[in-house]
A and B are shown apart, each in its own frame.
Chain A
Amino acid sequence: MSLVTDAGHPAEPTEGGQRKAPGGRAPHPLRAEALRGFAPWAGAAVLLTFGGMLAGTADRWQGGWAETATEAHTALLIALPLAAAAGCWQGGRERRRGTEELWATTVRPPLARLLVPALPVALWVAAGYLVAVAAALLATWPYVQGDRPHLALVPGDTAVMAAGTLAGHVVGRVVPTRLAAPLLAMAGYLGLGFLEMGGPAGARPLNPADPVPVGELPVWWQPWAMAVWTGGLACAAALAYAARRRVTALLPLAAALSAGALLAQAGDGLWHTDPLARRQVCDTSTTPAVCVNARYAGMLPQVGEALSGVTDKLEGVRNLPVRWADHGGAPRADEAPLPGLTPLGWSAVRGRLTDPEQFAWEAVTALSGRGDCPEGAVSTRVLWADDAVESYLAPNALQKKGLVPGGPDEERRILAARARLAGMAEDERRAWLSAYFAARAGCDAEGVPAL
């Protein structure tokens, strides 16, 4: 017997007094539960919440496949508690309607009575999550500059959303209070936030919403183990609550604990750096060569264009670094680090450099190699020489306006140094710059030619 009929297909009376659909079969209760009531709204709520968060942070993920994957995974911090709260709300439905006793009189076993309203919400929540992820991938696609879509975490995260909904449903059945759903949501936010910020290190692999750094990839079995870990716990809770033989809950519980033990034992071994993030593509037609990380290979022409003014002026200069490097690790002795294209949202947004002039200035400051010198270790004379080189090769906005820090005396000397370098003959300047770059990376004034 079904307690629910579909308004879209009016039931017709039959001889026995029972009602059935025109096709001859009564619509399955799952169909009505999935198409009507709270389930579609739960999916819409997840989609809107997730979508709202993605829209607010678009600058920092749109255009990078890895960033998009990280953002979609990070969204679990808010989407998972919301899913649990949605399940909890659905779980309290019969209590709110006052139909618990009526349900208890049906011939369906308790587990079926639990799953019929619970599964559609779980499916809609998972669908809402998947649609949001798909929308994010589509939004990223037009702006990507390399790499490939990172989808490894999506199956596990989707399963986690469904598991959270089912677990929330059981909580809703058990806890008879109006505030159960919002309290569960709040507890979820706080719990996941605590695990992220200050939880025990051993719990990190078990946290389904543990943040994943950009460019880190899971081992192939991590998403599936996470799905079994969370899904097993949710199924165990459902079976323990509603199964006729509650001992059957031990089966999913054992599976969950096995998966959890596997995850905990693997620890940091669950993740490895994307090999692509260690590679770079280079334009070797200039000196120094211009390299960008292979994940953003499409930005090489833009970066080369932004640095073309610098490389043109450095033509014929000796002792330069071999390249501006962007291979994810520390630059070697003969390399200068390329200014960071990542994290997205600052220097680069949607595949474009936001401020090429500032980027070029940062690239020139990197050429000096004095970024790691302790504060106060670099003498004033070297700082003035650095300023003159920057002002000549790629002045920033302040240097273009002729503005300098310090008092009148310092201002006069800095402006004089800039003027001397700019006023040198070509050969003289090349020689001076060659001597200047020969002393690169030194924090003291030794070797830096005077201006």
Chain B
Amino acid sequence: MTGLLLYARSRALPATLAALAGTAAFAVWAAGRLDAYLDPDRRVPIVALAPLLASAVIGTSLYSASDELDRTAVRRWWPRRLAHLTALTALAALLVTPAVLGHAETFGPPAVLRNTLGCTGLTAAAAVLLGARLSWLPAFGYVTAVYLGSTAAEGRAATIWAWPMQPGAQTGAWATAVAAFVAGATLYAVRGARPEGPRS
């Protein structure tokens, strides 16, 4: 078995891919149930929650059961970590996008792509700070609070703090989401997920 396959198994990547596929299938099914073709605004729950769930799946895949052993390896880990995170993020964006095709300016594909980047960035940063298995918590808290709390938010500041709920190509929202992804991915590539010993 090659090193890459061993790496994939050690990170439970088959289960992660299955979970991402399940997330995408559920998002497509839910979009059909919402009759989003009648009103693109009805896609808000999909745009907010599907990337969130995908990021939770990606975050938990960053867990290493043999952290101390990993650190004894002579090979550098950061390329693997970065490839792992970016490949899963790209795959998640690709899989979730079909749920919201069309009407790009009203909670369409760009918004899903942006939210996938932002949520994964938050989750990756949380994996470094809290540990991979609990990495879903900060993004869940933030996105759901913004989901309910930003309905009347307007103005430039709102495009930044309420970036997951912006309908289209608002610059502030994209800048925040990309910054979150770059920061999270860099942090994770450099540091790796927080070691989780028996007390976690």
Q: Which residues of A contact B (CB under 8 A)?
A: 45, 48-50, 52-57, 59-60, 74-75, 77-78, 81-82, 85, 89, 96-99, 178-179, 181-183, 185-186, 189-190, 193, 345
Contact = CB atoms under 8 A, between A and B. Distances in A.
B141 A56 contact: no
B56 A56 contact: no
B152 interface: yes
Contacts of A77: 148
Contacts of A82: 140-141, 144
Nearest to B45: A193
Contacts, number: 88
Nearest to B145: A52
Contact of B153 (A50, A56, A89): A56
Given A53-B144, A78-B147, 11 more contacts: A49-B145, A52-B141, A74-B148, A77-B148, A82-B144, A85-B137, A96-B133, A97-B199, A178-B133, A181-B136, A190-B45
Interface of B: 12, 19, 30, 45, 49, 52-53, 56-57, 60, 63, 133-134, 136-137, 140-142, 144-153, 161-162, 196, 198-200
Contacts of A190: 30, 45, 49
A5 B140 CA distance: 32
8 cross-chain pairs, A with B, having the tightest CB-CB distances, nearest first: A56-B149, A52-B145, A182-B56, A53-B149, A49-B141, A182-B136, A78-B144, A53-B145
A56 B146 contact: yes
18 contacts: A52-B141, A53-B146, A55-B149, A56-B153, A56-B161, A74-B148, A78-B145, A78-B147, A89-B137, A97-B200, A99-B198, A178-B63, A179-B57, A182-B53, A182-B56, A183-B56, A186-B49, A189-B144
A59 B151 CA distance: 11
Nearest to B19: A179
Nearest to B130: A41
- The majority secondary structure among interface residues of chain A is helix
B53 to A, nearest CB: 5
A100 to B, nearest CB: 12
B75 to A, nearest CB: 26
B144 A54 contact: no
B152 A57 contact: yes
